Amino acid sequence: MSNFNDESLYSKGLEQFKKNKLDNSLGFLLNIKKKNLNTLKLISQIHIKKNDFKNAKISLGKILNLNKKNLFALNYLGDLNRSEKNYVEAEKFYIKSISSDKNFSPAYFNLASLYEDKGELKLAKKHYLKVIEIDNKNYAAFFNLQRLDENFINDEIIKKIDNELKTNNYLKNKNIAYGHFLLANYYRKKKKIDLEIKELNKGHDIFFNSDNMNKYFVNYWLEVVPKMMNKKFLFNDNKKNKIASNDIEPIFIFGIPRSGTTLVETIITSGKEKIHNAGENFVLQKTLQNSQLNKKIYESEKSITLDINFLRKNMVKSYMKQLSIRSKKFKFIDRTMTNFFFSEILLEIFPNAKIINCKRDSFHNLVAIYQQCLNNLPWSHKIKDIRKYISIYNYKMSDLEKNYSKNILNVELKKLTEFPEDISKEIMSFCKLDWSEKVLKYYKRKDLICTTASNIQIREKIFKYDSAKFLRYKEHFDNF
């Protein structure tokens, strides 16, 4: 790369970035001698896409060294801290963004979303309204507001948004997608199912096409990983640096989105005993990637051999660091939804692990997913992909129960809502935890933070499952 000057290196890096060739792009950009704001922005974006938050923060910090009021850096540092559950720091960066520019709507939006996660709904509503005051075509803010206040969206607002979408239907704009999701929700309440499905289809298509990486991730999780999953896992028990994991008791919550995983997690963490909650963290996936880099994984045509002690050591270290644990004996919850793909590895690493398999009628689950905009799940935007994911999950769990039935508890969402006391007692007993009435009064907790689509529901009492509401969708979806 010695023949390139800084300008051409940046052009090459940008070109590779647009093609989603992130490592190639980074190779060009890191060779730039004098890194200006644009270069550092692009480098930080690459690290964020690669989930390398440590290096992303370093790049963003360098931007602030050049310009301490840089809105891009301040806002992204808020996002990264929020992802790492550093909510106080996240709030500080968003507020700094607003201090730098009183009309910077992304910071108001992110601050509102943060308050929503924390259950501070009045503050959330206040900041979403500020977003709309600045930009009355921010449909994502309207979409979130209608979840906080059902009476906020009226016929007049819907008519206005509908007319705007007809004249501004840019097919790769997430904001436009949220406009269609908003209309879909409006028609759902009016029981105009044909119109709801029509708007959902538009919203999902636009959202999916807004990021070229979505095709890659759909292929990865629905094709590449299942092929790996079907291979035989072999474990190389290297005695060197071996650590015991018998004193570690993880509770892994498995389930398809919208199957009750958030409710089960909240019930368990609302008991008398403090349970460390790792949430959704991708520790296993990151450790597997680290194992590949260190050549601790050997893949053949029919099998995958892993250095189990390398994996165990790194996973335990990651959990202890994330949860600020010093004791070698501890219990924690992990709700990373993709863990089920590699469940045999988890059970080899943690023989005392408990797996709670959250279940729901597959057709109901399909509809419930499609009615949402699960923005971090690219496979959730096409009905055929949702079907495939559900099938992969059900097949995997059925196979797992044949060999690890003692480690698994199946929890039906419908039964949990109909018999909350009985099923919650069963869950707590399985996890070797004491039951008390507190577990069913989770909605009174002041420390309850929820980042899932169940954020509003989880702040209310358990309500009885309504199967009838899905009957009207039978003619619109092939039965599943």
Helix axes of 105-118 and 71-83: crossing angle, nearest 10 degrees: 10
CATH of the domain at 418: 3.40.50.300
| In-domain check, residue 248 | yes
Strand partners, 252: 334, 355
Encode pLDDT of 16-63 as tens digits: 998 889 999 999 999 999 999 999 999 999 999 887 889 999 999 999
Q: What percent of the chain has pLDDT over 70?
A: 97
| In-domain check, residue 422 | yes
> What range defines the domain where residue 350 resides?
213-473
d(CA 446, CA 164): 40
Q: Is the pLDDT score of 416 beyond 90?
A: yes
Q: What percent of the chain has pLDDT over 90?
A: 71
The reported pLDDT for the residue numbered 479 is: 57
Q: What phi and psi, each to the nearest 5 degrees, are found at residue 75? A: -65, -45
| In-domain check, residue 413 | yes
Encode pLDDT of 433-443 as tens digits: 999 999 999 98
Tell me which long-range contacts 469-473 makes (C-beta under 8 A, separation of at least 24): 470/361, 470/363, 470/364, 470/367, 472/191, 472/193, 473/193, 473/367
> In the structure, what pLDDT confidence band is assigned to residue 290 with cuts at 50, 70 and 90?
confident
Residues 6+ apart with CB under 8 A from 159: none
Q: Is the pLDDT score of 186 beyond 80?
A: yes
For residue 377, CA distances in Å to 57, 58, 356, 416 come to: 24, 27, 21, 26
| In-domain check, residue 415 | yes
Tell me the DSSP string of 87-112. Answer: HHHHHHHHHHHHHH-TT-HHHHHHHH
Encode pLDDT of 134-157 as tens digits: 999 999 999 999 989 888 999 999
> In the structure, what pLDDT confidence band is assigned to residue 170 with cuts at 50, 70 and 90?
confident
| In-domain check, residue 244 | yes
For residue 179, CA distances in Å to 58, 90, 170, 203 come to: 36, 27, 12, 8
The reported pLDDT for the residue numbered 329 is: 83
> In the structure, what pLDDT confidence band is assigned to residue 90 with cuts at 50, 70 and 90?
very high
State mean pLDDT over 416-437.
96
Read off the pTM. 0.89
| In-domain check, residue 29 | no
Query: Closest Cα to residue 468, out of 388, 323, 328, 367?
Result: 367
> In the structure, what pLDDT confidence band is assigned to residue 244 with cuts at 50, 70 and 90?
low
Q: Is the pLDDT score of 241 beyond 50?
A: no
User: Side chain identity at 451, as an amino acid letter?
Assistant: T
The reported pLDDT for the residue numbered 37 is: 95
Helix and strand totals (H; E) in the chain: 22, 8
Residues 451 and 124 sit within 8 Å (Cβ to Cβ): no
The reported pLDDT for the residue numbered 246 is: 66
> In the structure, what pLDDT confidence band is assigned to residue 264 with cuts at 50, 70 and 90?
very high
d(CA 127, CA 113): 9
The reported pLDDT for the residue numbered 453 is: 75
Q: Is the pLDDT score of 450 beyond 90?
A: no
Strand partners, 251: 333, 354
| In-domain check, residue 71 | no
Residues 6+ apart with CB under 8 A from 167: none
Residue 47's CB is within 10 A of a number of other CB atoms, namely: 20
Give the chain's domain count: 1
State mean pLDDT over 405-421.
96
Q: Is the pLDDT score of 243 beyond 70?
A: no
Q: Is the pLDDT score of 240 beyond 70?
A: no
Encode pLDDT of 339-358 as tens digits: 999 999 999 999 999 999 99
d(CA 116, CA 86): 15
d(CA 116, CA 83): 14
Query: Closest Cα to residue 144, out of 410, 412, 455, 393?
Result: 455
| In-domain check, residue 305 | yes
The reported pLDDT for the residue numbered 480 is: 54
Residues 6+ apart with CB under 8 A from 169: 176
Residues 177 and 203 sit within 8 Å (Cβ to Cβ): yes
> In the structure, what pLDDT confidence band is assigned to residue 282 with cuts at 50, 70 and 90?
confident
The reported pLDDT for the residue numbered 239 is: 58
